[in-house]
Chain A
Amino acid sequence: MPERVRQMLPSVLSVLLALGVCWALIALTMEPGTATDAYLQMLWGGIGNWPAYLDGAAATVITRPLGESAMKAAILTLTGLSVAVAFKVGLFNIGAQGQMLLGALAAAVVGAQVSLPGVLHVPAALLGAALAGAAWAGIAGLLRIYRGVHEVISTIMLNWVALSLVDNWLVVGPLRGAAEGGQSITGTAEIQATAVLPRLLGEGSRLNLGFPLALVAALAVWVWLTRTRSGFETRAVGLGAEAARAAGIPVARRMGMAMALAGAMAGLAGAVLVLGTEGRYPGTLGAPYGFDGIAIALIGNNHPLGATVSALFFGVLRAGGTRMQLLGVHKSFPELIQGLALLFVAGRMVWLALLRRRNVAPAASAEVPRA
């Protein structure tokens, strides 16, 4: 079995097992037929109702669900990348949520307060979001490098600081949008039309530029990590910091840069949410996509492309999950599947041990160090 396949198998099997467990849960509490129907609904809700389309329904039965999936997948990809990039340098970024809030706010401010020509406005808002996220993650990075503060502790705490700073003060206070037509609104002022991420499949679908942007970001991170000198240095620091130091690699700089890049990715996730769908920083940012990023990265084996695939899959599940409600199945099941898959992936060593026992012995024995 090729090494690459062997690396992916635990994730794939974990997701399948999670799907199976959740199917059994629905089947046991309702009826087996309902469980299968619910899964089908979830599928059509995620990738579009192709049978109906082929029977002559309007194209929106395809484009609308795809738009919802792509929107969620784009954000999950970016927060997943955020966690995965930090992992590569050996840091555990629990702070994607806080970095995303800062990025979202920066995008909302640049989108609403700055006037720029159309071609520049979106890049400027994205850049602002990336910088805000990078700065927020950079705090944790600097604390780790210069003061030895563990990044898990600092990023968790910075999440709360971000929440208080953004949701509880700036958005309801200084940055609150002015009332429109006598109606008071929650959240910041609406972004200008030039800052809106263009939609790609027409107005019927929320698929916007954020989706290709996330894919390009994933590809760029992958190329950087595997093809460039600095990416190699980053991986070397993550896998053996002391050996990297002895080899003359600037360990602190690599850690700081990887952490900043992680923050930038989370910040972009916030920008995609604000510029693509919300149109402003809403009263509260809703779904904890930043925390989902941890699950996405781990299920994707902390590989930039693995995280992307896992984000696409769970994006589809999340978008389709709402359709389960038609059958009386709660829409939180996709999240349950994601949580279970994460739980099973955490038993990675168990999976590898199980796989090893199944006549994969030659490949496995190569990994056992000899004296």
Chain B
Amino acid sequence: MHRGELLAVVGENGAGKSSLMNVLYGLYQPDAGVLSLDGQPVRFKSPRDAIARGIGMVHQHFMLVPTLSVAENVVLGREPTRNGLLDLERAVQEVSATCARFGFQLEPRARVDTLSVGSQQKVEIVKALHRGAQVLILDEPTAVLTPQESDELARVMRGLVAQGHTVVLISHKLKEVLGVADRIAVMRRGRCVAEVRAADTTAEQLAALMVGDGQRAPAATSTPAVSQAPGEPLLDVRGLQATGDNGRPALRGVDLEVRAGEIVGIAGVDGNGQRELAEVLTGLRPLTSGSGALLGGPLSGLTPAQARTRGVGHIPEDRLHRAVVKALSVEENVALGRHTRPPFAKGPWIDFKGRRERTRELTVAYDVRPPDPEVALRALSGGNQQKVVVARELDARPRLLVVVQPTRGLDVGAVAQVHAKLREARDQGTGVLLVSLDLEEVLALSDRVYVFFEGRVTGHFLRHEFDERELGRRMLGTTEPGHA
């Protein structure tokens, strides 16, 4: 890679993108081969060496201390001191200066856990720059961002490149990569199979390269949904209110309905109550006010166990935290939540044979790699972990499926597969509530869309009424038409 260039690395889940970057950043040691920096071979024993040579990395999962301020996070590890004590004033000044130099708008004294995801990512970037990073590696940076934030990030990256920094962007989103990168490297199964100039290629060509020569690129995900007559109401809530983790109201009176055999999308910028809605519906968060009927029972006082017995499936946003136990095996994770029923249990005992057989079937049907029921889930790549979650939830044949960010960080092939499975469930009569920050995904899949803004429904669109610009305005709370 060259100085002052934006190189994008694309590839399917498990193609080796992140592993390669972890080698560059000194987290992993290369088994063979040479790493050269400015023409000299280098060997990073740890991230410390990499940082010293001007390499910075922004991980897919942020590495910030949530309870510390922006300034404290940025200077962490090289804190300015006075008389051996932390000099917070100088830290704030230094960080302000860095932010100003690179054009970031961040409040250095703000606690990181009060910031939006997009801002937290900026803190990560500032942290790397503050340590003098010349080469900046961003691992799936837009996976968690809203379209607006992604555009903002693209501007930031181009700005850094213009100032002579080198940016390495790892991504699945081909369109985005094409818009921002100078050069694109395609990885497949641990090898770099192609290197193209962004200006000379198309998304279709890239997809074909990623998937391999023999296979066709997966179809784009904008196949229109099959409109069917909506079935019985599964979920009907009126005036729903709930409190967020920060103690402030997250849902401020939501009216919403989901019927059997339809996909209902929730569009909105991150942090406008979508997450809390999903948690209320799955029994993970109590509602504070409002009434609702969920699959023939009241919504208030719902426990996760009740939600499951009534037939609510849940593909949560935070996979590692909430959907799976990564120290358990794949088959144990497939059983999780259904472990009291056949074929996973026989009376009080675990049915090892039934569990093994069902897991084998699912790993084949959902193309989980490796297809080994006994391997610990943590040994699977993120995309394959998500396949396990989707397989488990759909295999339970839920009547209502609450899905949050189901394709976050997945490659094109996996995204298409997850989307197809969700449509299939819908066609079989499941009501799907889809929460996604990816507006394209919401529009591609949903039969109806509710727009959320600050805990309220600010818009409701049927499929034939979908209008990206109008939806975008509702998402930002500017409901007056013509203000765009």
A residues with CB within 8 A of B = 226-230, 232-233, 235-236, 239-240, 242-250, 361, 366-371
- The reply to whether A247 and B284 contact each other, CB–CB distance below 8 Å, is no
- The reply to whether B337 and A239 contact each other, CB–CB distance below 8 Å, is no
- The reply to whether A367 and B379 contact each other, CB–CB distance below 8 Å, is yes
Q: A239, A243, A361, A369 — which one has the most chain B CB atoms within 10 A of its CB?
A: A243
Q: Number of contact residues on B: which range applies?
A: 35 or more
Residues of B within 8 A of A240 (CB): 321, 324-328
- Binary contact readout B464-480 vs A (1 if CB under 8 angstroms, 0 otherwise): 00000000000000000
B residues with CB within 8 A of A = 13-14, 16-19, 28, 31, 60, 139-140, 282-284, 303-309, 314, 316, 321-328, 332, 335-337, 339-340, 345, 348-350, 375-376, 378-382, 409
A246: which of B13, B314, B328 is its contact (CB, 8 Å)?
B314
Known contacts A232-B350, A248-B307; is-contact A243 B322 (Cβ 8 Å): yes
Residues of B within 8 A of A367 (CB): 376, 378-379
What are 20 A-B interface contacts by the 8 Å CB criterion?
A: A229-B348, A229-B350, A232-B335, A233-B339, A236-B336, A239-B327, A240-B325, A243-B325, A246-B284, A247-B308, A248-B283, A248-B308, A250-B305, A366-B379, A369-B378, A369-B379, A370-B14, A371-B18, A371-B140, A371-B409
- The reply to whether B379 and A248 contact each other, CB–CB distance below 8 Å, is no
Q: Which 9 pairs from chain A and chain B are nearest by CB?
A: A371-B18, A247-B337, A248-B305, A240-B325, A370-B381, A248-B304, A248-B308, A239-B327, A247-B336
Known contacts A246-B284, A369-B378, A371-B18; is-contact A229 B323 (Cβ 8 Å): no
B348: which of A230, A249, A369 is its contact (CB, 8 Å)?
A230
- The reply to whether A236 and B350 contact each other, CB–CB distance below 8 Å, is no
- The reply to whether B350 and A243 contact each other, CB–CB distance below 8 Å, is no
- The reply to whether A370 and B282 contact each other, CB–CB distance below 8 Å, is no
B316: which of A230, A235, A246 is its contact (CB, 8 Å)?
A246
- The reply to whether A242 and B139 contact each other, CB–CB distance below 8 Å, is no
Residues of A within 8 A of B283 (CB): 248
Residues of B within 8 A of A236 (CB): 325, 328, 332, 336
Chain B nearest CB, measured from A4 CB (Å): 12
- The reply to whether B322 and A229 contact each other, CB–CB distance below 8 Å, is no
- The reply to whether A246 and B345 contact each other, CB–CB distance below 8 Å, is no
Chain B nearest CB, measured from A353 CB (Å): 12
Residues of A within 8 A of B308 (CB): 247-248
Residues of A within 8 A of B303 (CB): 248
A228 to B339, CA, bound (A): 10
- The reply to whether A246 and B325 contact each other, CB–CB distance below 8 Å, is no
Given A366-B379, A370-B14, A370-B380, 18 more contacts at CB 8 Å? A226-B350, A228-B348, A229-B340, A232-B350, A236-B325, A236-B328, A236-B332, A242-B321, A243-B322, A244-B325, A246-B304, A246-B323, A247-B304, A248-B306, A248-B309, A366-B375, A367-B379, A370-B19
Residues of B within 8 A of A366 (CB): 375, 379
A227 to B321, CA, bound (A): 25
Chain B nearest CB, measured from A303 CB (Å): 14
- The reply to whether B350 and A227 contact each other, CB–CB distance below 8 Å, is yes
Residues of A within 8 A of B350 (CB): 226-229, 232
